[in-house]
Amino acid sequence: MFRTFQLIFACLLSTALFAQDSLTIKQSKYLEDQFYIGLTYNLLLNKPETVTQQNLSYGLQAGFIKDIPLNKERNFGVGIGLGYAVNSYYNNIQAIETDNGITYRVFDENFSYKRNKIETHLIEMPLEIRWRNSTATEHRFWRIYTGFKLGYIVGTRSKLVTEGYKDSFYNRDTENFRYGLVLNVGYNTFNFHLYYSLNDFFEENTTLDTGETLSLTPMSIGIIFYIL
């Protein structure tokens, strides 16, 4: 009987040690590689006094981030990602395509229209410094991810819709290479997202027909979801 208990104890001890070793290996190799989906409200800062935003200027983004841990606990590291984003900015600036380029003017107060927007499509590359209190077995945790986000506009459209007609065309005046600061903070799946552009929305020397400079600065506030 005593030998039987010894055998059982040895088996349990071996199982526990094997489980501990497996957990240690798992802990030493786990990553926070993540797919992400974001929804934002888009702002244009530094507007001329006559320029206003209207309706809901929204943005959608999605992509994947590769996690690179920098410490033994694997709760601090960097992330390099690749994604796609579409952003709409509803405003009262009419873009008029002419043979000499594009002219911009603010709508007259008596001009009636349904919506007017400029829409951008971007390829984006987030570059993040990442801190979280996660482990190999705990998937609900706090995170602070901050850094830069690079982007390139692959297409921009200006679109005006009134009761009688629609006008839409490819706009080449935007500053296609984008870069700015990004901050993602939150718990588990739901996280606060902030992006602030470090360069102007339009190319240098873009003006209204009145001569006022259109040095608009994009900023986005919203939520971002991380999906393993």
51 in the same domain as 11: no
Type of residue at 216: L
* CA dihedral for 21, 25, 28, 31, sign (positive or negative): negative
201 in the same domain as 94: yes
67 in the same domain as 9: no
Averaged pLDDT of the chain? 86
Cα dist. 183→23, 122, 142, 147, 222 in Å? Answer: 32, 19, 14, 7, 11
Burial of 204 (0-12, 13-18, 19+ CB in 10 A): exposed
Are 197 and 218 spatial neighbours (Cβ–Cβ below 8 Å)?
yes
Q: Rounded to two decimals, what is the model's pTM?
A: 0.84
Q: How far apart are CA 111 and CA 108, in angstroms?
A: 5
148 in the same domain as 72: yes
77 lies in which domain range? 31-227
176 in the same domain as 109: yes
**Residue 22: predicted pLDDT:** 40
196 in the same domain as 126: yes
172 in the same domain as 200: yes
Determine the 3-state secondary structure of 7 from DSSP: helix
- Tens of pLDDT, residue by residue over 74-88, are 889 999 999 999 999
Residue 179: CB atoms within 10 A of its CB come to 15
223 in the same domain as 176: yes
149 in the same domain as 50: yes
**Residue 189: predicted pLDDT:** 81
- Tens of pLDDT, residue by residue over 33-43, are 789 999 999 99
158 in the same domain as 203: yes
Give the CATH number for residue 190: 2.40.160
> Is the model's pLDDT at 28 over the cut of 70?
no
131 in the same domain as 76: yes
Mean pLDDT of 160-168: 90
> Is the model's pLDDT at 141 over the cut of 80?
yes
Q: How many domains does the chain fold into?
A: 2
97 in the same domain as 26: no
